[in-house]
Amino acid sequence: MSIFVNASTRLVVQGITGRDGSFHSKQMIAYGTNVVAGVTPGKGGQTFEGKVPVFDTVADAVRQTGANTSVIYVPPMLAAGAIAEAADAGISLIVCITEGVPVIDMTKVMPLVREKGARLIGPNCPGLITPGVAKVGIIPGQICLPGRVGLVSRSGTLTYEVVNQLTRNGIGQSTCVGIGGDPIIGTNFIDVLAAFQADPDTDAIVMMGEIGGTDEQKAAQYVAQHVTKPVVGFIAGQTAPPGRRMGHAGAIVSGSSGTAAEKIAAFKAAGYGIMERPADVVGLIKQRLKK
Amino acid sequence: MNLHEYQARELLKAAGVPMFDGGVASTPAEAEAIAARLGGTVVVKAQVHAGGRGKAGGVKLAKTPAETREHASRILGMTIKGLVVQKVLVVPAAEIASESYVGLIMDRESQRPLFMVSPAGGIDIEEVAAKTPEKIHRLAVDPRYGLLGHQALGLALKLYQNFDQVKVAAKIMDQLYRVFVANGASLAEINPLATTPEGKVIALDAKISIDDNELDRRPDLAALRDETAEAPSEVEARRANLTFIKLEGNVGCVVNGAGLAMATMDLVKYYGGEPANFLDIGGSSNPEKVVNALKIITADPAVKVILFNIFGGITRTDDVANGIVTATRQFKVEVPIVIRLTGTNEQEAVKILQGVGMKALNDMDEAVKQAVALAKEAK
């Protein structure tokens, strides 16, 4: 009843003893996520919160706990190295929360991730959650509700806004995935759309895009050809001035390309329900699920 | 972060890319001295982060040092697309036999540095791409191996027939790639890569943008930032670790998260208002950040209302509420504040605000509508 994370997720937290890592590890454990290990070089042998063993390396954690998923909360200059370590240790799903990773580092680590057959989500993302089952990352658990709508987004708090609208109106989610706002990310819209299309427990999909690049346009083409489930979409940044990076490293209109108008037109052409504002998600999903 | 042409030239020159000697001047006298040293006809070029410098009168030919001085005094201080020219580059004017384009960008799709070269140079490459896409040749470089010799040669062969020129151009490809990778660039471009009537291959103009994420580990590159080329409020915001972009409207926005910040601006517009700014206070916001955000926004006289839109996840809404209260104690906020907050520690936040007679809304649309209405009343 979900994609990417489920009851068999065995999570290792890279950077578990850091400020962000420890805060969110507690939240993930409280939500019921199966956190089997932590990694902080030099702190191997300690335990986190009295129950989670900490290792010096991801390879040790995998060997001793059977971890299959990792979440990364390390500083930006160390993040690509942490991704490489996880891929090298045989982790199949790597979720990098860290914001500010130099893009040149990502170009070097992506070939390794692919070679190892791992899936990377992020960097610069809120992670993902399968409500009621497991959360990997920082999406607040209390705003989610188990259900049958899949959500994929490039942003963090905007995702929460939309999830919250759905939950308050009794519409639950199968899985919510934040893919990240950077120019080079491990998992794009198409990867997630394909997974939702294949998931028997997802009935409809919400896709939250933003200005910059062409991922949304390509995703729309993919939807037109391969996705039979209803899709509703939103694009943030209609009022963004061209040439300026709007917070997210990838959210920039370059010349005449990557504009909100161009992306919304692609959505329309692919038969999406168009959200003019975040609150429209409720009506559109209800209407499309009735059909 | 965009580098100025003269800064980009220095990086390329240090890597060995053939370029004319030149100099950068902040005063007409300095420009004159550079022209005297170079001899012959020179070009005086405004150093601003804006396209269309030539059309705006920011690029002039000068036959003598005296004429250089005249042009420099006119160009220095000139405003091009809202930016005041602080420096001019003085370089020898070249006679040109041909102009090509060589660029490297960080390509989102291939997730690699991507070369784009074209024998049609000297003009806007987007225009070439739109009108004659067959004249642009592309090559994505695998960063594990770097630009291989045969790849550099292949690119150079798209530009020149004369093999002496091909060899020089191949070397330039390699040098440009090294500069790109070593400095974490998102764009590095030579336009035009020219040939002189004698057949010499030489880079006449250079443009480099650095990935902002690179700057934290590269103080040498961060030091190249020209703060005079930015709005003062944006400089101040960066120092306070806030992401801020000034816009033309009158609804000041304080939001946590870039996506929600954009969506908030869009919603202001949707309800008939105009956002005054993009401002992301980021995650784990401490009250201090909120105080700084309010200082920056209230410094803009155009702002008629301030709209907070906070969705507490990592950000604790009570931290934001405390920040608002602290700020209003530190300085008088003359315009109304509309606050929407929900999520982590919402009840505490509401209590904190009520304690000073402020109200918090729970719904984003409701808050935006109120803010837009207040901005209209204030006119």
Q: What is the pLDDT of residues A44-67, one digit of tens each?
A: 999 999 999 999 999 999 999 999
The one-character DSSP state at B19 is B
What per-residue confidence (pLDDT) applies to B284? 63
Distance CA B49, CA B188 (A): 15
When pLDDT is averaged across residues B321-347 and rounded to a whole number, the result is 92
Helix (H, G, I), strand (E, B) or coil at B150: helix
Assigned domain for A188 exists: yes
Residue A286 confidence (pLDDT) above 90: yes
CB pair distance less than 8 Å for A77 and B216: yes
In this complex, is the C-beta atom of B314 within 8 Å of any C-beta atom belonging to chain A?
yes
Distance CA B286, CA B317 (A): 10
Based on the domain organization, do A111 and A211 belong to the same domain? no
Task: Decide if A104 and B211 are in contact by the 8 Å CB cutoff.
Answer: yes
Contact map slice: B 98-137 vs A, CB within 8 A: 106, 108-109, 111-113, 126
| A117, A145: one domain | no
Q: How confident is the model at residue B372 (pLDDT cuts 50, 70, 90)?
A: very high
Note every long-range contact of B7-13, with CB atoms under 8 Å and residues 24 or more positions apart, other chains counting: B7/B208, B7/B224, B8/B188, B8/B206, B8/B207, B8/B208, B9/B89, B9/B206, B11/B179, B11/B183, B11/B206, B11/B208, B12/B175, B12/B176, B12/B179, B12/B190, B12/B203, B12/B206, B12/B208
Q: What percent of chain B has pLDDT over 90?
A: 80
pLDDT digits (tens, 9 = 90+) for B259-270: 999 999 999 999
B278/A contact by beta carbon, under 8 A:
yes
Average pLDDT, chain B: 93
**Helix or strand run (H / E) with residue A103:** helix A103-115
Selected residues 89-108 of chain A with any CB under 8 Å from a CB in chain B: 100-104, 106-108
pLDDT above 90: residue A247: no
In B29-124, which ranges are E strands?
42-46, 59-62, 79-80, 83-84, 88-92, 98-107, 112-118
Taking each helix axis from N to C end, the angle separating B346-355 and B317-330, rounded to the nearest 10 degrees, works out to 20
pLDDT digits (tens, 9 = 90+) for A226-239: 999 999 999 999 99
Better pLDDT: A211 or B315: A211
Q: What is the pLDDT of residues B70-109, one digit of tens each?
A: 999 999 999 988 788 999 999 999 899 999 999 999 999 9
Cis peptide leading into residue B219 (ω within 30°): no
Minimum CA–CA partner of B278 in chain A: A246
Q: Which positions in chain A touch B245 (Cβ < 8 Å)?
A: 241, 244, 246
β A127-130/A173-178 pair status: antiparallel
Residue B260 contacts residue B229 (beta carbons within 8 Å)? no
- Residue B285 is predicted with a pLDDT of 67
B28 touches chain A (CB under 8 A): no
Provide, as residue numbers in chain A, all residues whose Cβ is less than 8 Å from the Cβ of B113.
107
Q: pLDDT tens-digit profile of B2-53? A: 999 999 999 999 999 999 999 999 999 999 999 999 999 999 999 988 777 8
A94 and A198, same domain (yes or no): no
pLDDT of residue B124 exceeding 80, the answer is no
- Structure confidence at residue B125 (pLDDT): 79
**Is A3 inside any structural domain?**
no
Per-domain residue ranges of chain B: 21-92, 98-222, 232-378
Rounded to a whole number of angstroms, the distance from the CA of A141 to the nearest CA of chain B is: 9
Q: Say if A280 is an interface residue toward chain B (CB within 8 Å).
A: no
Q: CA A15, CA A82: separation in Å to the nearest integer?
A: 9
Instruction: Identify the closest residue of chain A to B105 by CA–CA distance.
Output: A104
- Number of other residues whose CB lies within 10 A of the CB of residue B190: 29
CB pair distance less than 8 Å for A158 and B112:
no
Predicted local confidence at residue B231, as pLDDT? 79
Residues A111 and A145 in one domain: no
Minimum mean pLDDT among B55-64, B110-119, B234-243: which range?
B234-243
Residues A112 and A143 in one domain: no
Report the interhelical angle of A157-168 vs B258-270 (nearest 10°): 60
Can you tell me the mean pLDDT for A87-98? 97
Structure confidence at residue A290 as a pLDDT band (50, 70, 90): confident
- Contact (CB<8Å) A158/B144: no
**In whole angstroms, what is the distance from residue A246 CA to residue A251 CA?**
5
Q: Do residue B269 and residue A238 have CB atoms under 8 angstroms apart?
A: yes
Q: Is the predicted pLDDT of residue A250 greater than 80, yes or no?
A: no
Does residue A231 share a domain with residue A159?
Answer: yes
Higher pLDDT, A212 or B81: A212
Taking the C-alpha atoms of residue B205 and residue A278, their distance in angstroms, rounded to an integer, is 45
Exactly one of A248, A260, A267, A272 is catalytic; which is it?
A: A248
The CATH number given to whatever domain includes residue A62 is 3.40.50.720
Q: Are residues A66 and A182 in the same domain?
A: no
The answer, yes or no, to whether the previous bond of B192 is cis (omega within 30 of 0) is: yes
Question: Does residue A2 lie within any of the structural domains?
Answer: no
Which ipTM score applies to this complex? 0.91
Whether the pLDDT of residue A1 is over 70: the answer is no
A38 and A149 both lie in a single domain: no
Is A254 found in the same domain as A180?
Answer: yes
For chain A, what is the domain count? Answer: 2
Q: CB contacts < 8 Å between A and B, how many?
A: 162
Of all helices (H) and strands (E), which one includes residue B201? strand B201-203
Is B286 an interface residue toward A (CB < 8 Å)?
Answer: no
Residues in chain A with CB shorter than 8 Å from the CB of B266 are 236-239, 260, 277
A251 touches chain B (CB under 8 A): yes
DSSP letters of A27-77?
A: HHHHHT--EEEEE-TT-TT-EETTTEEEESSHHHHHHHH---EEEE---HH
Residues A91 and A38 both lie in one domain: yes
Q: Which domain holds residue A74?
A: 11-121
What is the token pair recorded at B82?
């809202």
**CATH architecture, domain B21-92:** 2-Layer Sandwich (3.30)
Partner-chain residue, chosen from A101, A239, A276, that has the shortest CB–CB distance to B265: A239
CB contact under 8 A, B278 and A240: yes
Mean pLDDT of all residues in B163-168 = 98
Is B1 at the interface with chain A, CB within 8 A?
no
Provide the mean pLDDT of chain A.
95
pLDDT greater than 70 at residue A33: yes
Four-residue CA torsion sign, B122, B128, B132, B137: positive
Separation in Å, CA B368 to CA A135, B198, B270, B286 = 31, 65, 9, 24
Residue-wise pLDDT for A107-137, tens only, equals 999 999 999 999 999 999 999 999 999 999 9
Chain B residues in contact with A76 by the CB 8 A cut-off are 213, 216
Q: How far is A64 from chain B (nearest CA, A)?
A: 31
**Within a domain: residue A218?**
yes
Contacts of B269 in chain A (CB under 8 A): 238-239
From the list B154, B141, B148, B151, the residue with the least C-alpha distance to B185 is B141
What are the distances in angstroms from CA A201 to CA A10, A147, A159, B168?
22, 8, 20, 60
- List the single residue in B212, B263, B342 with the smallest CB-CB distance to A278: B263
* A150 and A106 fall within a common domain: no
Which CATH code for domain B98-222? 3.30.470.20
Q: Is B313 on the interface with A (CB under 8 A)?
A: yes
Q: Are residues A233 and A275 in the same domain?
A: yes
Helix segments in B149-224, DSSP class H: 149-157, 163-182, 219-222
The CATH H-level superfamily of B232-378 is Succinyl-CoA synthetase domains (3.40.50.261)
Residues of chain A in contact with residue B143, where contact means CB-CB under 8 angstroms, are: 104, 107-108, 111
Which among B282, B225, B108 is positioned nearest to A103, based on CA atoms? B108
Contact A100 B108 (CB under 8 A): no
Helix B258-270 to helix B364-378 angle (10° resolution) is 60
Which value, in Å, is the radius of gyration of the alpha carbons in chain B?
25
Q: What is the DSSP string of A127-176?
A: EEEETTTEEEES--GGG--EEEEEEEES-SHHHHHHHHHHHHTT--EEEE
Look at residue A291 in the predicted model and tell me its pLDDT: 67
Q: Regarding predicted confidence, which is higher, B129 or A269?
A: A269
Task: Give me the torsion for CA of B202, B206, B211, B217, rounded to 10°.
Answer: 70
> CA-CA distance, A277 to A161, in Å (whole number)?
11
Determine which of B314, B346, B365, B369 to mutate to test the interface with A (most A C-beta atoms within 10 Å).
Answer: B314
Number of residues in chain B: 379
Phi/psi at A275 (nearest 5 deg)?
-85, 115
Among the three residues A88, A121, A154, which one is the final residue of a domain in this structure? A121
HSE toward the beta carbon, residue B139, CA cutoff 13 A: 23
| Interface contact A104-B280, CB threshold 8 A | no
- Residue A17 domain-assigned? yes
- Which residues, numbered 6 to 25 in chain A, qualify as contacts with chain B under a Cβ-Cβ cut-off of 8 Å? 20, 23-24
C-alpha pair distances (Å), A154 with each of A208, A231, A250, B258 = 6, 16, 10, 10
